[in-house]
Amino acid sequence: MNALKDTWYISLRDIRTRLRMPVFLFMSMAQPILFLLLFPEIFKSVGSAMFAGGTSYLQFFTPAVLVMTGLFSAVFSGMGTIMDIDTGILSRMSATPVTRVSIILGRVIATVVVLLVQAAIILIIGVIMGVDIATGAGGALLALLLIALLGLGISAFSNGVALLVKRQETLMATTNLLTLPLMFLSTMMMPEELLPGWLQTVTNFNPVDYTIVGVRSLFLEGYNWSDLWPSFAVLGGIAVVMVIFATMMVRRRVE
């Protein structure tokens, strides 16, 4: 019970803080919006050659942009923890009876709430541009759930690393090093069949790709459970492992 309450209050604080710095909320959305506006234009002709049955590149690419939005937002979650280390808030919090797992869960859940709102905004922009979702509103919600799971894992990882390295610059470097390969070693821009063989293998170990595959399947095909189950299982598993990792880092933290 205490853990739930602590998590609730810590998330509220985090969301409140983010709302008071709206610049950052828009900053992490700038790149996905740019991608969404540009890429379908750039690849317009490729798209019509690539897909049979009239799937546009916009249609193909929008799920990936949604996932990217979640990824970009989640990866910076640890910055909040670094700020709390720098200001002494984390130390002070640690000297109270607050449940340790809540320090992580609270921030991670706040991150996910924010990234869901961001993804929803991107989705609305996509729909306005003409994206159509095979599974309708229900499928869109399920897609957001997948993105939320990815966000949970990535933001918990980001916070764990933050507690480990304790420095903004190091966290930025680490996460940048990770984000780009996660994005480009996936089916974000090309369908799997068109990727070289080694890359097809790599995508099987990329959680971001599991998310893209799941969301894309909901958008383009319908409820295709043979695509969806692996995505949910892999992303759920990673989320649990990362939350445990980050909580261990909180417990271990010595100044």
Partner 1 sequence: MTGEKSVIVTRKLTKVYKGNTKAVDGIDFEVKAGEIFAFLGPNGAGKTTTIKMLNTLLPITSGKAMVAGFDVARHPAEVRKRIGYSAQDVGVDEHATGRENLTLYGHFYRLDNATIKRRVKNILEIVGLTEYGNKMVSTYSGGMRKRLDLAMGLIHRPQILFLDEPTTGLDPQTRAHIWEYIQKLVQKLGMTIFLTTHYMEEADKLAGRIAIIDLGKIITMGTSDELKRSIGGDVVSISPAGDDPEACKELVKRAEEVLTGKPFVIGTKPADGDLAVYVKDGGSAAPGIMQVLDAQGIAVRTMSISRPSLDDVFLKYTGRTIRAQEGTRTTFAQMHRMSNRRRVR
Q: Which runs of consecutive H residues, i.e. helices, occur in 166-206?
A: 168-184, 197-203
Q: Is 5 in the site for partner 1 (CB under 8 A)?
A: yes
* Nearest Cα to Cα of residue 130 among 217, 61, 71: 61
Nearer to partner 1, 14 or 209 (CB): 14
223 binds partner 1 per the rule CB under 8 A: no
Q: Residue 191 is encoded by which pair of tokens?
A: 């369908």
Residue 172: exposure state from Cβ atoms within 10 A (0-12, 13-18, ≥19):
middle
Give, as one character, the DSSP assignment of residue 195: S
Q: Is position 89 an interface residue for partner 1 (rule: CB under 8 A)? A: yes
Task: Tell me the C-alpha distance between 132 and 220, whole Å.
Answer: 8
CB atoms within 10 A of CB 142: 17
The reply to whether 16 sits near partner 1 by the rule CB under 8 A is yes
Does residue 97 interact with partner 1 by CB under 8 A? yes
92 binds partner 1 (CB under 8 A): yes
H or E segment and range at residue 158: helix 136-165
Q: How far is the CB of 120 from partner 1 (least distance, A)?
A: 24
Among 91, 200, 201, 204, binds partner 1 (CB under 8 A): 91
**Least distance to partner 1 from the beta carbon of 99, Å?**
9
Closer residue to partner 1 (CB): 6 or 209: 6
- Candidates 54, 70, 98, 188; binder of partner 1 (CB under 8 A) is 98
Selected range binding partner 1 among 43-51, 96-104, 133-141, 145-153, rule: CB under 8 A: 96-104
Candidate list 22, 96, 193, 198; residue touching partner 1; CB under 8 A: 96
Phi, psi of 152 (to 5 degrees): -60, -50
Beta carbon of residue 25, minimum distance to partner 1 (angstroms, whole number): 13
Cβ neighbours of residue 109 closer than 8 Å, sequence gap 6 or more: 7, 11, 152
Q: Is 2 in the site for partner 1 (CB under 8 A)?
A: yes
